[in-house]
Amino acid sequence: MMSMTAMGAAQPVLSKPRDDDRYPSRFGTQGQMKDRLDPVVWGTPEQGSLSNSQLLFYEDNGYLNFDQLLAPDEVQACLAELQRLRGDEALKKTDEAVVEPGSRELRSLFAVHRSSEVLKALCEHPKLVAIARQLLGSDVYIHQSRINYKGGFRGKEFYWHSDFETWHVEDGVPAMRLLSCSIALTANTPYNGPLMIVPGSHQRYVTCVGATPEDHYRHSLKQQEVGVPDDGCLTRLVQDFGITAPTGLAGSVTFFDCNVMHGSSSNITPLPRSNVFVVYNSVHNTPVDPFCGLAPRPNFIAERRDFTPVAPR
């Protein structure tokens, strides 16, 4: 479907955005900063346990951090499960597993709510789901889940990006009504490659340059090069908003908006930084055909069959 120029550069499959595309990206020759067109907080203080000031913090900053949301034995069970999965050589050969380009270490494992009972229970944890429901103001289902293992010594970085840009362009998620929840299974310190966030950047939409290659996920999940902001846009965002890196012990949890600019550095400490990420999407925001015009990514990266709401248990 993708065409090549004489120079070999990928051309957009669509020459212009579709009429239903409210957030076109990867069409132009220059990155642009546009306005966000959707609310950040869709629910109200009455709809859950988050206070008005927590909702306002999330609205302004695009994230919300909790030091202790999960019980130590819940975290311990998930960490034991992570170690089991990490040692499973057969698993590393499955499509769901992404290994580091250099070492053969596990980088990410997708759809863990399908392959692991322990991690399914984590993804469906009543406290997490209740917060997601309140922030998104509706029932939610799991759009994506994964472990990002980021081992010690040679755990590689995740370059700056807005998740929404990819989820919109490559998965066809229409609106900014989804969020990520990052659960720390090991301590996230300033030193071992914690999540870095540009607080407030979720209020802008940074368009990216470069057409989406076919089967892009095979490369982007190891090292993302298309769907990242250009240097000028990133510089402006950081000048305007700065950078924050929420850290915490195992069991700490960070919720962050789908469009907040974020990334993380490599981990050269001996201490792994292992987090489980769950992406909750509103049941009113299910994917349509990808806005880049290519075939959708596999279901284990972006759910497009089962929109059953996760109910607090």
Residues that bind Fe ion (CB under 5 A): 163
Interface with ligand 6CS includes 163 (CB under 6 A)? yes
Residue with smaller CB distance to ligand 6CS, 55 or 106: 106
Q: Give dist(CA 35, CA 96) in Å, integer.
A: 34
Q: What is the residue whose two structure tokens read 């203080």?
A: 45
Alpha carbon 166 to its chain centroid, in Å, reads 9
Q: Give dist(CA 105, CA 245) in Å, integer.
A: 25
Q: How far is the CB of 57 from ligand 6CS (least distance, A)?
A: 23
Find out whether 216 and 13 touch, Cβ atoms under 8 Å: no
Residue with smaller CB distance to Fe ion, 163 or 171: 163
Q: How far is the CB of 259 from Fe ion (least distance, A)?
A: 11
Interface with ligand 6CS includes 256 (CB under 6 A)? no
Residue with smaller CB distance to ligand 6CS, 166 or 285: 166
What does 207 bind: Fe ion, ligand 6CS, none (CB cut-off 5 to 8 Å by kind)? none
Q: Which of 41, 97, 226, 301 binds ligand 6CS (CB under 6 A)?
A: 301
Q: Is the dihedral of CA 255, 258, 259, 263 positive or negative?
A: positive
Q: Give dist(CA 277, CA 14) in Å, integer.
A: 32
Q: Give dist(CA 128, CA 115) in Å, integer.
A: 19
Alpha-helical segments (H) within the chain: 52-61, 72-86, 89-92, 112-115, 117-123, 126-136, 163-169, 217-220, 231-241
Interface with ligand 6CS includes 158 (CB under 6 A)? yes
Interface with ligand 6CS includes 204 (CB under 6 A)? no
Near ligand 6CS in 119-148, by CB under 6 A: 144, 146
Q: How many residues does the chain have?
A: 313
Q: How far is the CB of 195 from Fe ion (least distance, A)?
A: 8
CA distances from 236 to 198, 201, 231, 241 (A): 11, 10, 9, 9
Q: Which of 54, 224, 254, 274 binds ligand 6CS (CB under 6 A)?
A: 224
Q: How far is the CB of 227 from ligand 6CS (least distance, A)?
A: 8
Q: Which of 143, 161, 168, 304 binds ligand 6CS (CB under 6 A)?
A: 161
Interface with ligand 6CS includes 25 (CB under 6 A)? no
- The residue number with the shortest CB distance to Fe ion is 163
C-alpha gyration radius of the chain: 18
Binding site for ligand 6CS (CB under 6 A): 144, 146, 158, 161, 163, 166, 220, 224, 301
